[in-house]
Amino acid sequence: MTPSHELVSTAHHHVAAAHVWGWEIAIYLFLGGFTAGLLVLSGAARWRTGDAPRGAPGFALASSGLPAVGLAALSLGMLALLLDLAHKPYVWRLYLTVQPRSPMSWGAWILILVYPVLLAGVALDPPAALRARIPALARLVRWADDARVRPGLGAISIAAGVALGIYTGILLSSLGARPLWSSGLLGPLFLVSGLSTGAAFAHLCSPVAAERARLLRLDNLLIAVELGLIALYLIGLGSASAAHASAARLLLGGPYTAVFWVGVVLLGLMLPLAIQTLTTARRIAHTPIAPVLVLLGGLVLRFVLVFAGQASQWSPL
Amino acid sequence: MTRLGMVIDTRRCVGCQDCVVACKTENRTPVGYHRDWITYATAGRFPTLTLTIQSERCNHCDDPPCVSCCPTGASHVHRWGGVVLIDHDACIGCKACVVSCPYDARYIHPDGYADKCTFCIHRVERGQEPACVAVCPTRCMHFGDLDDPESEVSRLLASRRHHANLPEAGTGPRIFYLE
């Protein structure tokens, strides 16, 4: 197209097309990533405890009900996703086909894998009263706690979580028409952000001090990695084509700059990292403020990327 | 292989919007939605200005991102002519295709499914031209097989300077504008 100073289009839907995806997608991507984090954490705990008896120190995380929280979060996310669909009665068409080039198709099938893993996580960790009442359930839990079975179950949970976490980022980065999303780094970024929000939630709720301390250190590491990934992502966009550089400017001086740098980087990552570093150094007591900020930061990250991404384009229209 | 495409002469187009109205009449698109539209691009600095008018629509790309991102296969490449079409009964309205199109050629129909230009495949299969091409009063629009070197579109492209919209998006657009 001729470089222009003014471009007028008669297509009314272009005005509406700027933001096709709304809050539903941002909420879903956040809750999907959060669930991925919970799956990886509870899976890793199950894996690492080896043959430690139920109730032993270090087992708290493996039996802390994270899969139940994940089940609720993912179901809420799926509800948001369903609300976003414009042709809802046809949603079952997702499951009549496998489209290898469509990350959304992988996602539909990954969710089919993730749900049973979450349900198993809930079923394998029933309240003691229920275990005493139902002998079959007690036998199932004994089987799952067996040292030969436990790491395998943990590994399945980790794999399901990683697949879920990465796909939520790849979903956006595969849509090349929006230059802000044209980065493979969105996959690891969303995965690490999901892990970090999961770890934040776990240490927010964990009743065991030693475990809280371990999760705090893990979350600090994840936040640092996330900051690094954000820097690489912006450097990558800024040094690519004019369209990508102009997309990066949405976050570097453009309309999404304040919410990104204040909401995500400062309040969502750097401030909680500072607070949690002071906590691990035993300078201040454990506070719920930091993990709540991490969770909110993860949510704002999805909102900023979903909305700013749709505002980025190849054409001047 | 037949590769259907369009060649539009920007030196002849006067931006009358007959193509827009013809499409609306032929395809009964809902109020407020268009499968084709006109862009008026003004370049330069007063008083040395140039105006380029283009009739735009889905580019029926060689490597259509709307087809590869579709999770149900509703967006597909037609068996003949490489025309990109949508099976409305397989579309779940997820809008990935709308977001994936660098040309913003798609919209969500009020009935819930994604919709866009079909190159009037229902007319083309009967041997007619797309409605927008058929009505053009300045005869600035040409439709045919880009893979056939003897076709009118191929000969025009071989003999005139031309451009496509946003080739840098890498989707292989098949609507060309003669300069």
Per-residue model confidence as pLDDT tens digits over A203-244: 998 888 888 898 999 999 999 999 999 999 999 999 999 999
Distance in Å, alpha carbon of A167 to nearest chain B alpha carbon = 13
Q: Which is more confident, A141 or B176?
A: B176
| Total number of domains constituting chain A | 1
Distance in Å, alpha carbon of B124 to nearest chain A alpha carbon = 24
Asked if the model's pLDDT at residue A18 lies above 90, the reply is no
- Find the closest chain A residue to B16 by CA distance: A10
Contact call for residues A296 and A269 (beta carbons, < 8 A): no
**Once rounded to an integer, what is the mean pLDDT over residues B107-117?**
95
Helix intervals (H) in chain B? 18-27, 65-68, 96-100, 121-124, 131-135, 152-159
What would the two tokens of residue A251 be?
Answer: 């976050």
Q: CATH topology for B4-178?
A: Alpha-Beta Plaits (3.30.70)
Contact call for residues A279 and A285 (beta carbons, < 8 A): yes
- What pLDDT sits at residue A1? 42
Tell me if residue A144 falls in helix, strand or coil.
helix
* Confidence band, pLDDT 50/70/90 cuts, at residue A56: low
Which domain range does residue A50 map to?
20-311
- Find the closest chain B residue to A313 by CA distance: B102
Q: Is residue A13 part of a domain?
A: no
Q: What is the DSSP letter of A180?
A: G
* Confidence band, pLDDT 50/70/90 cuts, at residue B108: very high
Beta-sheet strands, E only, within A79-203: none
Q: What is the DSSP letter of B146?
A: T
List the CATH number of the domain containing A132.
1.20.1630.10
What would the two tokens of residue A278 be?
Answer: 């002071």
- Find the closest chain A residue to B107 by CA distance: A13
Mean of pLDDT over chain B: 95
CA dist A193 and A201 (Å) reads 12
Q: Is residue A104 part of a domain?
A: yes
Q: Does B17 touch chain A (CB under 8 A)?
A: yes
Question: Does an H or E element contain A309, and which?
Answer: helix A289-311
B104: left (phi over 0), alpha (psi -120 to 50) or beta: left
Using CA atoms, how far residue A243 sits from A8, A178, A179, A251, B101, in Å, is 20, 9, 6, 14, 15
Determine whether the interchain pair B72/A16 forms a contact, defined as Cβ–Cβ distance below 8 Å: no
**Once rounded to an integer, what is the mean pLDDT over residues B141-165?**
96
Asked if the model's pLDDT at residue A67 lies above 80, the reply is yes
Which residues of B are less than 8 Å from A108 in CB distance? Answer: 71
Determine whether the interchain pair B74/A93 forms a contact, defined as Cβ–Cβ distance below 8 Å: yes
CA dihedral B135, B141, B144, B150 (to 10 degrees): 130
Q: Which residue has the tokens 């709308």?
A: B98
Which residues of B are less than 8 Å from A11 in CB distance? Answer: 34, 37, 56, 104
Interface of B with A in 93-152 (CB under 8 A): 93-96, 98-104, 107-108, 111-113
* Confidence band, pLDDT 50/70/90 cuts, at residue A312: very high
Determine whether the interchain pair A86/B38 forms a contact, defined as Cβ–Cβ distance below 8 Å: no
* Confidence band, pLDDT 50/70/90 cuts, at residue A282: confident
Domain ranges of chain B: 4-178
- What pLDDT sits at residue A3? 47
Which residues of A are less than 8 Å from B73 in CB distance? Answer: 97, 99
Distance in Å, alpha carbon of A179 to nearest chain B alpha carbon = 9
Q: Which of A89, A79, A223 is CA-nearest to residue B112?
A: A89
Mean of pLDDT over chain A: 90
Q: Transcribe B23-48 into DSSP letters.
A: HHHHH-PPTT--SEEEEEEEEEETTE
SS3 content of chain A, % helix, strand, coil (to 5): 70, 0, 25
Distance in Å, alpha carbon of B153 to nearest chain A alpha carbon = 19
Q: What is the pLDDT of residues B15-67, one digit of tens each?
A: 999 999 999 999 999 988 999 999 999 989 889 999 999 999 999 999 999 99
Compute CA A97 distance to the chain's CA centroid, rounded to the nearest angstrom: 26
Interface of A with B in 171-190 (CB under 8 A): 174-178
- What pLDDT sits at residue A59? 62
Q: Which of A126, A148, A141, A160 is CA-nearest to residue A44?
A: A160
Indicate the range of A4-8, A198-202, B103-107, B169-173 predicted with least confidence.
A4-8
Which residues of B are less than 8 Å from A313 in CB distance? Answer: 102, 104
* Confidence band, pLDDT 50/70/90 cuts, at residue A317: very low
Q: Is residue A9 part of a domain?
A: no
Q: What is the ipTM of this complex?
A: 0.91
How many interchain CB pairs under 8 A, A with B? 160
Q: Is residue A173 part of a domain?
A: yes
Q: Does B31 touch chain A (CB under 8 A)?
A: no
- Find the closest chain A residue to B52 by CA distance: A2
Contact call for residues B134 and B144 (beta carbons, < 8 A): no
Of A10, A99, A108, the CB nearest to B37: A10
The amino acid sitting at A260 is F
Q: Is the dihedral of CA A28, A34, A37, A43 positive or negative?
A: negative
Determine whether the interchain pair B102/A313 forms a contact, defined as Cβ–Cβ distance below 8 Å: yes
Q: Which residue has the tokens 């909680």?
A: A272
Any residues with CB less than 8 A from the CB of A305 and at least 6 apart, and which?
Answer: A172, A180, A181, A186
Interface of B with A in 41-100 (CB under 8 A): 41-45, 50, 52, 54, 56, 65, 68-74, 89-96, 98-100
**Once rounded to an integer, what is the mean pLDDT over residues A161-175?**
94
Q: What is the pLDDT of residues A96-114, one digit of tens each?
A: 999 999 999 999 999 999 9
CA dist B83 and B117 (Å) reads 10
Question: Does an H or E element contain A220, and which?
Answer: helix A209-238
